[in-house]
Amino acid sequence: MKSEGGKRLLGLICLMAMISFTACLRAHGNDIDTAGDPKKPVDKFEWHPLRYDSTKKYIYLSFDDGPQHGTVTCFDLCKKEGVKASFFMVGLHTAQKSDGKQIVSMIRDGYPEFLLANHSYTHALGKYHSFYHHPLQAEEDFFQAQDFLHVPYKIVRLPGNRSWVRNGEVKATDLVHPVAHLLDSAGYNVIGWDAEWHFRTKSARPVQSATRMAAEIDNALACGDTHVPNHLVLLSHDRMFQHPSDADSLAKLIHILKQNHNYVFETVDHYPGLKKPHSGL
């Protein structure tokens, strides 16, 4: 028969075990509650600068405005072709789409082949002048997207705007400069673009053929007509590739570019001269 002291000790041990078990369950529950378990892939977001090969030219495919119809097509296609790509995503589009959070998580978890980046929460609701005219509200909009989407790095693209903010460099128009400066002070990099695959306003279908787009890319790199020589950021939009024939155009562009063995596909966190982009997620 156990003594009173022994029983008390046993009771205390049981109580402590229950408390730690409950705390463990709660912590696990928190992980599941957050969008796509952002804590799980944190380790792989340990960021390292890239060593550039001077004999190569770097292409940064980027897709804007997702999640939208077309996002998964772009992701699957780039994965199948083994090329890296960056997705600048929008908080509101994520909230409005039933599978929005899963798609964002798929992109985030796809690192280092795929990069999730910040394209604001509201996308300025299409009213760009008013958005940039209120810099503090605009900055807050990016912070909201950063938190909501669990964006791993401090990398944004401004909606409807081609500004650049890197280490010690802010390149923006007078209207946008205050927002760019605020983001710079908060440790963010802003990525513009060098070439754009345009789309038709109503149908969202690509304007240039794949062959034409590849020629524009070749030409810009050959002539040094890029923000940084030998590095080219291509802007396109997820929704351009929702039709199978347009997805074929994207595949064709990638095939053409891959034939040039001097081209390397990278994600924009490896664009030259960025401030160390880790957001500390």
Least gap, CB of 141 to Zn ion (angstroms): 13
Least gap, CB of 183 to Zn ion (angstroms): 16
How would you write the chain as a 3-class SS string? CCCHHHHHHHHHHHHHHHHHHHHHHHHHHHHHHCCCCCCCCHHHHCCCCCCCCCCCEEEEEEEEEECCCCHHHHHHHHHHHCCCEEEEECHHHHHHCCCHHHHHHHHHHCCCCEEEEECCCCHHHHCHHHHHHCHHHHHHHHHHHHHHHCCCECEECCCCCCCEEECCEEECCCCCHHHHHHHHHCCCEECCCCEECCECCCCCCECCCHHHHHHHHHHHHHHCCCCECCEEEEEEEHHHHCCHHHHHHHHHHHHHHHCCCCEEECCHHHCCCCCCCECCC
Q: Any contact of residue 141 with Zn ion (CB under 5 A)?
A: no
Q: Of the two residues 236 and 249, which places its CB atom closer to Zn ion in the complex?
A: 236
Least gap, CB of 64 to Zn ion (angstroms): 4
Q: Of the two residues 45 and 60, which places its CB atom closer to Zn ion in the complex?
A: 60
Least gap, CB of 76 to Zn ion (angstroms): 21
Among residues 36, 59, 62, 65, the one that binds Zn ion under rule CB under 5 A: 65
Q: Of the two residues 198 and 258, which places its CB atom closer to Zn ion in the complex?
A: 198
Which residues within the stretch 232-271 sit at the binding site for Zn ion (CB under 5 A)? Answer: none
Least gap, CB of 119 to Zn ion (angstroms): 6
Which residues within the stretch 22-61 sit at the binding site for Zn ion (CB under 5 A)? Answer: none
Q: Which stretch binds Zn ion (CB under 5 A): 15-23, 62-70, 175-183, 190-198?
A: 62-70
Q: In this chain, which residue has its C-beta nearest to Zn ion? A: 64
Among residues 45, 60, 63, 64, the one that binds Zn ion under rule CB under 5 A: 64
Least gap, CB of 235 to Zn ion (angstroms): 9
Q: Which residues bind Zn ion (CB under 5 A)?
A: 64-65, 159
